[in-house]
Amino acid sequence: MDGPRVADALEALRASVAGIRFGLSVADVDAARRSQAELVGQVDDYLLPRLRQLDAPMLVAVGGSTGAGKSTLVNTLVGAEVSKAGWLRPTTRSPVLVCNPADVGWFDTPRILPGLSRTTGSAGEGSLQLVPHPAVPPGLALLDPPDIDSVVAENRDLAAQLLAAADLWIFVTTAARYADAVPWDLLHTAAQRSTALAVVLNRVPPEGVDEIGGHLATMLADEHLGDAALFPIPEVELSSERIPAAAIAPLRSWLDALAADAEARDAVIRSTLTGALNSVHKRVSDLAGQLDDQVATAAELREQATERYRTALRTVDEGVRSGTVLRGEVLARWQEFVGTGQFTRNLEARIGALRDRLTAFFTGRTPTADAVGHAVESNLHALIRAAADEAAEQTASLWRGHPAGRALVVRDRSSDDFGDRLEAEIRDWQGRVLELVREEGGHRRSVARLTSFGVNGAGLVLMLAVFAQTGGLSGLEVVVAGGTSAVSQKVLEAIFGDTAVRTLAARARDDLIDSVEVLLESERDRFVAAVDAVAPAAEQAATVRDALASFEAALRTYLRQPGLVS
């Protein structure tokens, strides 16, 4: 037998489907979550139990709308009040399962409906009331679920769950409500899954039995449910809250015949089982399509954040190369020292004297030198912070305009500790610049010059050279920045030689940009982490489809067995 094989494949598929995370608010996500829950529930409640025990009693669910009379019908079929009926709504708050005493062992364990505890007394929330009664023939059990259109959402969900766990539906409606939308939604599901179905048309005016019954039969045929057994019950006075025997006789005879004929009962069970198994393909394929949408949306949101922070890095890089960091306080402090006019015009002639002056300036730790260094640090901090804040604001704005991103936005600015981390990283970079100066100054011919000038002084000159490209400056700023660049180059050449100087500024600049990139990526990762926390993994769709393919291969073999309808 291939039952165990298809059951194992179905169990693996069920695990893959249950593991799908539909956390992003894409189109139809609520429907996808419901479909996921319904499929996992039916696998647990019905498909796996029935595959593993085909000889278990047939479970007949008597479902219907509020006030349709299904509990009264169950009580009448059993000949005792086993399910509460009355005027208050909802009447059936917890499900009732009635079976022959000899069959209790099939239902008092979590073999089916494992999520419901069992009780033989009054059923509480989340429980299934078992009622053994000898009037129910062996091999058959009646299940009275809550109303399918109950005002209580939990009752509606439970009703749908219980109907999906049954081998046969007896659907109860009335002459006044047989065309209502909610019942037909469930009847469509029965048609899609080839569920064995009987329909009870209750409370039909005696003079309208043929007309109303005929109309309902036509409607059923139009919805591919023409094979459903239809039992009109005329409107009659109840006797002790039960339907008179004559009115219910056709339905009772039909059920008794099923109970007495093991082959007929087995055919109903196998028909419903096969239909439910065949429905798995489309249901899982639809979920996989929704999963693709989730993965694509997650990638879109991540890319939006990534591109904003890429732009921030380009902004910093351009600001560094263009001389933006030398604006304001840095230029003012530098101008105090070197001046502009005649100094820049006669720079080549005065470079020796200037170098002596710069040496005293930096090695003496004058207030002006400290001011230049602090101004560089402050301007660099402001440049990077502004770029990071703009990236956060733009990402948040884009996400707020996206249905899936809106719920993920926590803040539209940089993280609280970004300023401290940025300050520490700038200082670390300054330290690495000094280390670069030491490394380059370690050569014998540079030692004396570096000693006279000082590591800190040379390092600060190198930092100035990194920023003095003049592209973002104008007017007097260009003159001063140009002087800064020239002075920096000449001083560095005097210390290290012209060959080494060509790479020093580039190395220091690249190191700075690499450090900024790491900082900005950590800020971007806040947004990415918000997506990752709710989005499915990219490889999940392939995992689900692989599990579906394995299940379908096992199912094809299973359905080739004699007695099963494919």
3-state SS string for 272-309: HHHHHHHHHHHHHHHHHHHHHHHHHHHHHHHHHHHHHH
Please write the tens of the pLDDT for every residue from 455-493: 455 556 666 666 765 444 433 343 344 444 444 555 555
Q: Is the pLDDT of residue 6 over 80?
A: yes
E strands present in 319-380: none
Strands 96-99 and 127-132: parallel
Sign of the CA dihedral with 282 first, then 287, 290, and 295 last = negative
- Contact between 547 and 16 (Cβ < 8 Å): yes
CB atoms within 10 A of CB 1: 8
Provide φ and ψ at 429, rounded to 5°. -65, -45
Q: Which is nearest to 252 in space by CA: 56, 74, 57, 65? A: 74
Q: Is 166 left (phi over 0), alpha (psi -120 to 50) or beta?
A: beta
* Beta-bridge mates of residue 200: 172, 231
pLDDT at 156: 86
Q: Looking at per-residue confidence, does 448 or 558 come out higher?
A: 558
- DSSP codes, 144-160: EPPPTT-SSHHHHHHHH
Residue 310 CA to residue 259 CA, distance in Å, equals 71
Share of the chain above pLDDT 90, in %: 55
Q: Which is nearest to 244 in space by CA: 73, 418, 470, 97? A: 73
Q: CB within 8 A of 562, min separation 6: which ones?
A: none
- Contact between 197 and 167 (Cβ < 8 Å): no
Q: Which is nearest to 460 in space by CA: 325, 342, 565? A: 325
pTM: 0.79
Q: Is the pLDDT of residue 234 over 60?
A: yes
Residue 315 CA to residue 389 CA, distance in Å, equals 12
Please write the tens of the pLDDT for every residue from 50-70: 999 999 999 999 998 888 889
* Beta-bridge mates of residue 173: 201
- Which of 242-246, 372-376, 418-422 comes out lowest in average pLDDT? 372-376
